[in-house]
Amino acid sequence: MSRAAVFLDRDGVLCQSTVIDGKPYAVRRVEDFRLLPGTVRAVEALRHAGFAIVVVTNQPDIGNGLVSRDVVEQMHRRLRQRIRPDAIELCPHRQDEGCACRKPKPGMLHAAAQRLGIDLSASFMVGDRWNDIVAGRQAGVYTVLIDRGYREGIAVDPDWVAHSLPAATAHILARGTVPGSVG
């Protein structure tokens, strides 16, 4: 039996990013890893509505040697304790490796969908950068951009724009589990 999911980017959606000159960067120390306000309640509301919760995150700092996989796993243990996702999909590769999992490719979404029995056509992708939206589009899910005011363009228009995860959650819950059913 398949079910709908909400795919959530990690940095800038669930937890704080470091923004330098209008560009976001993942934190590199466990002590700097902090959930954004309203994250726990928003994720609980999505779970209560019946959605699978899947974190999909590019972490090129691992491949670039800037942070150890162990440090990232410590951050993910905190995520598992606080928001209890059904899965955390991680791409540890450098930007230039050409892997199939790194967003904007939809590999992490497809892998989670196959493993967890997710109906992509009834699912959502919430991200704060263009690569999240492109990955969601390529996977066939409804896309929500959390606009953080970064100085980077958006390669494709999202289906919806919000300014926080709680606002994105309210929109998703208002739409229901099947994109296009409520508008």
Cβ proximity of 91 and 112 under 8 Å: no
Whether the Cβ atoms of residue 144 and residue 158 lie closer than 8 Å to each other: yes
Token digits of residue 95: 């930007």
Instruction: Tell which CATH architecture fits domain 5-175.
Output: 3-Layer(aba) Sandwich (3.40)
Which residue in the list 11, 61, 132, 159 is annotated as catalytic?
Answer: 11
According to DSSP, the β-strands at 23-25 and 18-20 are: antiparallel
128 catalytic per annotation: no
Residue 111 identity: A
Contact 24, 150 (CB under 8 A): yes
Per-residue pLDDT tens digits for 130-179 = 999 999 999 999 999 999 999 987 778 999 999 999 999 999 999 865 44
pLDDT of 1 reads 63
Query: What whole-number distance in Å separates Cα of residue 162 and Cα of residue 12?
Result: 12
User: Is there a catalytic annotation at residue 9?
Assistant: yes
Domain-wise residue ranges, the chain: 5-175
pLDDT at 101: 96
Quote the pLDDT of residue 21.
Answer: 93
Q: What is the pLDDT of residue 183?
A: 34
Assess contact for 55 and 87: CB atoms under 8 A: yes
Tell me how far apart the alpha carbons of residues 51 and 142 are, in angstroms, rounded to a whole number: 14
What does the alpha-carbon distance between residue 86 and residue 128 come to, in Å, rounded to a whole number? Answer: 21
17-76 pLDDT per residue, tens: 999 999 999 999 999 999 999 999 999 999 999 999 999 999 999 999 999 999 999 999
